[in-house]
Structure formats: structure tokens, C-alpha cells
């Protein structure tokens, strides 16, 4: 079955290695198109979204080889500029190929990437900003065609911070003629990793990690080898597993420097955390009330991708609280499933109010999307009885074998 079975009520003890970052790997794999030769990307996670990105690269004529956690991408024989609709539709991150392909081939035809349950996820700002770099875009009902004889650097004053738009503009700007300024740029660690990869390949980028990026276009980039950083959202996920089930775990390679807001929040819930040179030690269960609630924000604020996970922490902590989702318009899909488990949660606009004192019991629940699915597994760890989380395929999009990793942490979970 496409599900996870969880035997709840058991505290955790053990350690697991945190996988490479999904949201750094995807734009970096797209960026390999900007070089003409063989790039080697280390520490790429073995997850469905990376599989779909590699399938798209193959459809464009790239030769792909995975040797352990190293992915070799040979872009010498780039042949196509049309991507298979089924892979584009399945994975939103296909939009990241837009900027790279325009820079490399000057032409792209692709379906509109799928939205998903967390929001409409339009690409209007992507298209608006690329048009300002000289890209001609013809929009159809289900697909669009973009052309640019030469991308022209320009000042991009954006109306709001967008991770994907920042990535696409970086990919379009590194080989453009002249200088591009992106402001406000997203500051996520995944953007910093993308800039580091491109600088290793010969790009001229200043301001990585700040809200203002200045990119001087160069003639050519060369292939390079790069190691993807550990995934801060996966580390945060297993951190919440310990906050909910209790116990003591060590998250090897957890990127603590990229998790400040998450670590501070976990400590406010009463957990004891130890930053080690090679990871994060987590001890104890969440048992304190989070005064003032929790609001998601762009980095370095609290990450929207851990909003569902901390909603579960709040529900399990037995305390009243609220969570505000300020990034996506529909990211409370987990609530009806948590209510089936006995949680008492009310949604009012962008806020979800969690009532304490309602212990969770296990039952059959259904993942609706990636992070909410992982959060349901975490909730089941703390709930009484045996639970099933269906639609495991959503979780597999971003987590390497979540049942294996949780078993390494002492959880009683199995594929179902």
C-alpha cells in the first residue's frame, strides 16, 4: 500500500544522518544546464522530486549518471527545449529550468507547472521579471513559449520576496549581457548554495544571503563539482518528531546555522538542544506553551515548510496556541486529518488556533501534500495506538525513506 504504519506512544532514541537539501539540489541541477560539460553534484537526496528533475534534464538531451550520492550531469549534447508535460506538471520546480534554458538555448516551451493544494502558486512574477530581461513570452491556455536572442541584465525591484523568482533571475542573469540587480532577493540557504555553485562555475555574483544580489553577466561558465548542503527542513522534521514523542536523538549533519529560528522555537517549547560541530542533539518533549504564537515568514523568519510540523508539536504539547501562515494561501490542509486524531483546531483566515488538553489517538489519515504528510507521521508517533498515514508518495517527494530514518531514531514505523 502507498502508506506508513506507525505504532505510537514510544519515545525516541538514536541518531540519523540528515539528507542533502531538496530545495538546494533542484535549482543546482537546473543550473548545470548553464555549463557545457560534466558537473558532479554531491549529496543529492534520493527523492522523487530529484528523480523528476533528472528526467527533465534527460528529456533535454543531458546524460545523467548517479554514483552513490553523486549525480554526474553531462550537458554537452543538449538537444531539446521542450519538456515532457507529465514531468513538468508533477513538479513545480520545473519552472527553475526556465531561466537556465533561456540562458543556454534562448528558447523554452513548457506547460504551466502544476499548482498544488498549498496554493495556486502562479508564475506571473517569473514571467514579468524575465520579460524585463528581454524575453518574449507567448502565453497559451496550458503552455507558454519563451524566447530571448540575448538576455539583458537589468535592475529587478520585485514587489515581494519569492524563492523561485530569485532563483530563475539568478539563472537568467549569470550569462546575460551587463549587470542585474535583484531586490528584495530571497535569502534562503538554498539560494546561497545556488550562488556558491555558480561562483564555483565562474559566475560573478555579489550579495549571496542578503536581500540584494548583484550579478555581472559573463561569457561562459565551466563545469564544476559541488556538495549540496544538508536539508534544514528534513532536520527540522526529525527535530519535531523528538519534541512530540520525547526522548533523545542526534541529527547528524543538521545545518544548525540555517535553523536558528527553528531551534529558538523548539527551545521555547521546552526542548533541550545542543549544537554540535557535526549535528544537533535534541532532548525532551514539548511541554511548554508557546507565548505569542508562531508566524511563518521568508528566511531568516520561521519557515513555512515547518508550519504543519509545529502545528503538530503545539497539538501534542497540550497547550493552547496559534500558528499564522503568511506565505501560502492554503497551507492548513493537515487540520481535518489532525482533528480525526482528536486535535481541537479552528482556522480563522491565515491563523489556526490549537486548543490544548486534547490527546491524540491514532487512526487512518491521508497525506494531502509533502510537509503535511510528514507532519501526520510525526503526530502518529506521539498518539496512542497504531496509525496509518496514506498517500506516502507525497512524503517520498522530499524525504529519503522516512520509515528507515525514523527507525534509526527508535520509532516503531514500517511501510504499509
Contact between 142 and 111 (Cβ < 8 Å) = yes
Interacting stretch for ligand EPZ, rule CB under 6 A, among 37-45, 159-167, 287-295, 377-385? 159-167
| Shortest Å, Cβ 167 to ligand EPZ | 7
Comparing CB distances to ligand EPZ, the nearer of 104 and 371 is: 371
Interacting stretch for ligand EPZ, rule CB under 6 A, among 19-27, 134-142, 169-177, 208-216? 19-27
Q: Does 32 bind ligand EPZ (CB under 6 A)?
A: no
Record the cell numbers describing residue 67, joined without a space. Answer: 554514483
Q: Does 196 bind ligand EPZ (CB under 6 A)?
A: no
Interacting stretch for ligand EPZ, rule CB under 6 A, among 70-78, 156-164, 282-290, 377-385? 156-164
Q: Does 336 bind ligand EPZ (CB under 6 A)?
A: no
| Shortest Å, Cβ 412 to ligand EPZ | 26
Beta bridge partners of 247: 12
**Which position among 104, 187, 371, 392 is part of the footprint of ligand EPZ (CB under 6 A)?**
371
Q: Which of residues 296-325 bind ligand EPZ (CB under 6 A)?
A: 304-305
- To the query of whether residue 195 is one of the catalytic residues in this protein, the response is no
Which is catalytic among the residues 62, 81, 116, 244? Answer: 116
Which residue's CB atom is positioned nearest to ligand EPZ? Answer: 164
Q: Does 122 bind ligand EPZ (CB under 6 A)?
A: yes
Comparing CB distances to ligand EPZ, the nearer of 164 and 255 is: 164
**Which position among 16, 19, 21, 23 is part of the footprint of ligand EPZ (CB under 6 A)?**
23
| 387 exposure class (CB count in 10 Å sphere: 0-12, 13-18, 19+) | buried
| Shortest Å, Cβ 96 to ligand EPZ | 7
Q: Does 9 bind ligand EPZ (CB under 6 A)?
A: no
Comparing CB distances to ligand EPZ, the nearer of 161 and 341 is: 161
Q: Which of residues 67-96 bind ligand EPZ (CB under 6 A)?
A: 92-93
Angle of helix 370-382 relative to helix 232-245, nearest 10 degrees?
20
Q: Does 398 bind ligand EPZ (CB under 6 A)?
A: yes
Angle of helix 232-245 relative to helix 307-317, nearest 10 degrees?
10
Record the cell numbers describing residue 290, joined without a space. Answer: 508557546
Comparing CB distances to ligand EPZ, the nearer of 52 and 92 is: 92
**Which position among 52, 104, 126, 392 is part of the footprint of ligand EPZ (CB under 6 A)?**
126
Q: Does 19 bind ligand EPZ (CB under 6 A)?
A: no
For residues 315 and 375, give the distance between their C-alpha atoms in angstroms, rounded to a whole number: 11
Q: Does 146 bind ligand EPZ (CB under 6 A)?
A: no
Interacting stretch for ligand EPZ, rule CB under 6 A, among 64-72, 121-129, 144-152, 281-289? 121-129
**Which position among 9, 20, 45, 164 is part of the footprint of ligand EPZ (CB under 6 A)?**
164
Q: Does 172 bind ligand EPZ (CB under 6 A)?
A: no
**Which position among 10, 58, 121, 355 is part of the footprint of ligand EPZ (CB under 6 A)?**
121
Comparing CB distances to ligand EPZ, the nearer of 120 and 272 is: 120
SS (H, E, C) the chain: CCEEEEECCCCEEEEEECCECHHHHHHHHHHHHHECCEEEEECCCCCHHHHHHHHHHHHCCCEEEEECCEEEEECCCCCCCECCHHHHHHCHHHHHHHHHHHHHCCEEEEECCCCECCECCCCHHHHHHHHCCCCEEEECCCEEEEECCCCECCEEECCCCCHHHHHHHHHHHCCCECEEEEECCCCCHHHHHHHHHHHHCCCEEECCCCCCEEEECCCCECCCEEECCECHHHHHHHHHHHHHHCEEEEEECCCHHHCHHHHHHHHHCCCEEEEECCEEEEECCCCCCCCCCEEECCCCCECHHHHHHHHHHHHHHCCCEEEECCCCCCCCCCHHHHHHCCCEEEEECCEEEEECCCCCECCEEECCCHHHHHHHHHHHHHCECEEEEECHHHHHCCCCCHHHHHHHCCCCEEEC
Comparing CB distances to ligand EPZ, the nearer of 165 and 214 is: 165
Q: What residues make contact with ligand EPZ under the rule CB under 6 A?
A: 22-23, 26, 92-93, 119, 121-126, 162-165, 304-305, 327-328, 370-371, 398
* Catalytic residue ranges: 116
Amino acid at each position: 500500500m502507498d502508506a506508513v504504519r506507525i505504532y505510537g506512544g514510544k519515545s525516541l532514541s538514536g541518531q540519523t544522518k540528515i539528507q542533502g537539501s531538496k530545495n538546494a539540489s533542484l535549482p543546482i541541477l537546473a543550473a548545470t544546464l548553464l555549463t557545457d560539460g560534466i558537473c558532479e553534484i554531491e549529496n543529492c537526496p534520493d527523492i522523487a522530486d530529484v528523480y523528476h528533475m533528472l528526467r527533465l534534464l534527460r528529456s533535454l538531451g543531458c546524460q545523467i549518471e548517479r554514483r552513490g550520492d553523486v549525480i554526474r550531469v553531462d550537458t554537452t549534447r543538449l538537444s531539446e527545449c521542450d519538456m515532457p508535460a507529465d514531468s513538468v506538471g508533477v513538479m513545480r520546480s520545473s519552472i527553475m529550468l526556465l531561466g537556465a534554458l533561456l540562458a543556454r538555448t534562448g528558447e523554452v516551451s513548457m506547460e504551466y507547472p502544476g499548482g498544488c493544494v498549498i496554493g495556486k502558486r502562479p508564475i506571473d512574477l517569473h514571467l514579468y521579471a524575465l520579460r524585463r530581461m528581454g524575453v518574449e513570452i507567448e502565453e497559451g491556455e496550458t503552455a507558454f513559449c519563451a524566447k530571448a536572442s540575448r538576455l539583458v541584465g537589468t535592475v529587478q525591484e520585485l514587489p515581494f520576496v519569492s524563492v523561485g523568482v530569485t532563483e530563475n533571475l539568478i539563472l537568467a542573469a549569470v550569462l546575460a549581457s551587463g549587470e542585474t540587480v535583484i531586490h528584495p532577493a530571497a535569502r534562503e540557504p538554498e539560494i546561497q548554495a545556488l550562488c556558491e555553485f555558480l561562483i564555483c562555475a565562474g559566475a560573478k555574483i555579489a550579495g549571496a544571503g542578503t536581500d540584494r544580489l548583484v550579478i555581472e553577466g559573463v561569457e561562459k561558465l565551466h563545469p564544476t563539482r559541488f556538495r549540496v548542503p544538508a536539508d534544514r527542513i528534513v532536520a527540522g522534521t526529525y527535530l519535531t518528531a523528538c519534541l512530540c514523542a520525547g526522548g533523545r536523538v542526534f541529527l547528524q549533519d543538521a545545518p544548525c546555522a540555517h535553523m536558528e529560528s527553528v531551534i529558538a522555537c523548539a527551545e521555547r517549547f521546552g526542548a533541550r538542544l545542543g549544537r554540535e560541530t557535526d549535528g544537533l542533539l535534541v532532548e525532551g518533549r514539548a511541554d511548554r506553551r508557546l507565548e505569542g504564537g508562531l508566524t511563518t515568514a521568508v528566511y531568516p523568519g520561521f519557515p513555512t515548510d515547518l508550519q504543519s510540523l509545529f502545528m503538530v508539536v503545539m497539538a501534542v504539547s497540550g497547550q493552547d496556541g496559534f500558528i499564522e501562515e503568511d506565505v501560502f494561501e492554503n497551507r492548513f490542509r493537515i487540520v481535518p486529518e489532525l482533528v480525526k486524531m482528536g486535535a481541537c483546531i479552528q482556522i480563522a483566515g491565515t491563523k489556526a488556533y490549537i486548543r490544548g488538553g486534547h490527546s491524540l489517538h491514532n487512526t487512518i489519515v491521508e497525506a494531502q501534500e509533502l510537509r503535511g504528510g510528514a507532519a501526520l507521521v510525526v503526530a502518529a508517533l506521539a498518539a496512542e495506538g497504531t496509525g496509518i498515514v496514506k498517500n506516502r508518495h507525497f512524503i517520498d517527494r522530499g524525504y529519503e525513506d522516512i520509515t528507515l530514518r525514523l527507525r534509526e531514531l527508535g520509532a516503531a514505523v514500517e511501510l504499509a
